[in-house]
Structure 1
Amino acid sequence: MQKLINTLESCGYKVHNAKDKKEALEISKIYIKEGISVGLGGSTSVGQIGLLDFLVNNKNITLYNQYEKGISMEENTKRRREGMLTDLYVTGTNALTKDGKLVNADGSGNRVAAMIFGPKKVLVIVGKNKIVNSVEEGFDRVMNVAAVKNIDRMNKKAIEMGKEPRHNLDNAANKFTYIKADEKDRIVLILVDEELGF
């Protein structure tokens, strides 16, 4: 693990290593300072460590939460746009290569766009199941693991809401990226020694 951390730091990332979800949440809180604005990218990992609940219940920050129940699609889109110009953007990743590339597929693209440019800092929660050897392995993981599970999750959610399931590879995974840090310490990685997310 130390070898991976050294490589990631040499690529320009700020890296933390957490033994479990609880420690990952405590490390995340270091970056949630009073008065900041926070954007969200779609991430099961963020929810699993308890960070989403922490953000939603934190009255000392401005959170652009596009996942709030009951908001319109127009408000959802507005919040996603606002989230791209925040002090901190919180998300997960589909894969992280051992040479320091974040590999992702998105439906709308707001998550990967924010990773690339916009927010002052980006906090990425990475479960050990997301670490792969290469970009090729990362994209294989995106298509055969992450996208499949996300599509299933989104369609189940639609059915629960009484809507027609409409998610498939064409609309849930149509923007592909691999990103390497450019501005030193702008992207903060919390590597969690547990399996998280998809």
Structure 2
Amino acid sequence: MPCEKFIANLRRNRFQAVYFAAAAAAADYLASRVRGKTVGFGDSHTLLEMGLVERLRERNVVYDPTPLSGAEFKAAADRAMTADVFMLSVNAAAETGELVNIDSSGNRVAGSLWGHEKVYFVFSANKIEPTLEAAIFRARNTAAVINASRFGFKTPCAARGDRCYDCSSPDRICNTLVVYMKKEKSMDMEAVIVGEKLGY
């Protein structure tokens, strides 16, 4: 099985974990598992590429702040924080069984840490690094750089496109770094790993 060692280490860290070669199969799995729920989304290009917001709206009430701004963003993010289920991706993962996320506003990582029946981390296998140190490096120097450029932020990493400069720009995207070392005691957490390359 692909990612066998990684999945074993995730399970050792009390996360549930499944692997799908194709994004469509992963989307089918999630649609079959999440029905009749309120679902909150964290900003994720991976989930967007998979069409999960639209797919889950068919049988659930979905709160997705991603396309919104200002008061509308805050209202949707607040609802997402109290949803039955929360879905997001990760910026990186370590083969040793840890997940890593960086956040700018905090709603995405905050929503993943408390208050839901279940949290799903949906991400592609290309985000897996051999060690936690390498995963944090990837989150800061690959994922955050691409995201800062995607949003047009005025940061050195977006301007140069090569690495994190640990800047103090008001547009800085890496304000919060979260390492999920083990599953939270208060809720279920599942990693859904996809063989196809998705997101950043």
Give the TM bin, normalised by the shorter chain: 0.7 to 0.9
Q: CA RMSD in A?
A: 1.9
Whether the 8 Å contact between 1:13 and 1:184 is mirrored in structure 2 is no
1:22-59 residue CA offsets vs partner (Å, 9 max, x unmatched): 1111111123212x11111011111112212313x42x
TM-score (norm 1): 0.85
Rounded to whole Å, the distance in 2 between the matches of 1:27 and 1:10 is: 23
Query: What's 1:103 paired with?
Result: 100
**Residues 27, 185 of structure 1: alpha-carbon distance in 2 compared, 3 angstrom cutoff:** farther
Query: What's 2:150 paired with?
Result: 153
Rounded to whole Å, the distance in 2 between the matches of 1:134 and 1:63 is: 34
Aligned with 2:127 (options 122, 126, 130) = 130
Whether the 8 Å contact between 2:91 and 2:127 is mirrored in structure 1 is yes
SS at 1:190 equivalent: strand
Query: What's 2:44 paired with?
Result: 43
SS at 1:119 equivalent: coil
SS at 1:126 equivalent: strand
Query: What's 2:178 paired with?
Result: 177
1:60-118 residue CA offsets vs partner (Å, 9 max, x unmatched): 322112134xx551121121121111111011000111122111110011111122212
- The 5 Å alignment of 1:45-64 reads 45-55=46-56, 57-58=57-58, 60-64=59-63
TM-score (norm 2): 0.84
Per-residue deviation, 1:16:
1.1
Rounded to whole Å, the distance in 1 between the matches of 2:143 and 2:197 is: 13
**Residues 136, 72 of structure 1: alpha-carbon distance in 2 compared, 3 angstrom cutoff:** closer
What percentage of residue pairs aligned between the two structures are identical?
26
- Range that drifts further, 15-24 or 178-187: 178-187
Whether the 8 Å contact between 1:12 and 1:183 is mirrored in structure 2 is no
Rounded to whole Å, the distance in 1 between the matches of 2:49 and 2:69 is: 25
Number of equivalenced pairs: 184
Rounded to whole Å, the distance in 1 between the matches of 2:134 and 2:66 is: 30
Rounded to whole Å, the distance in 2 between the matches of 1:14 and 1:127 is: 16
- The 5 Å alignment of 1:69-108 reads 71-108=68-105
Q: Does 1:12 align with 2:11?
A: no
Rounded to whole Å, the distance in 2 between the matches of 1:123 and 1:6 is: 17
Q: Does 1:140 align with 2:141?
A: no
Query: What's 1:186 paired with?
Result: 188
Rounded to whole Å, the distance in 2 between the matches of 1:67 and 1:142 is: 20
Runs of 4+ aligned structure 1 residues displaced above 4 Å come to 165-170
Whether the 8 Å contact between 1:127 and 1:196 is mirrored in structure 2 is yes
**Residues 101, 73 of structure 1: alpha-carbon distance in 2 compared, 3 angstrom cutoff:** same
Per-residue deviation, 1:184:
8.3
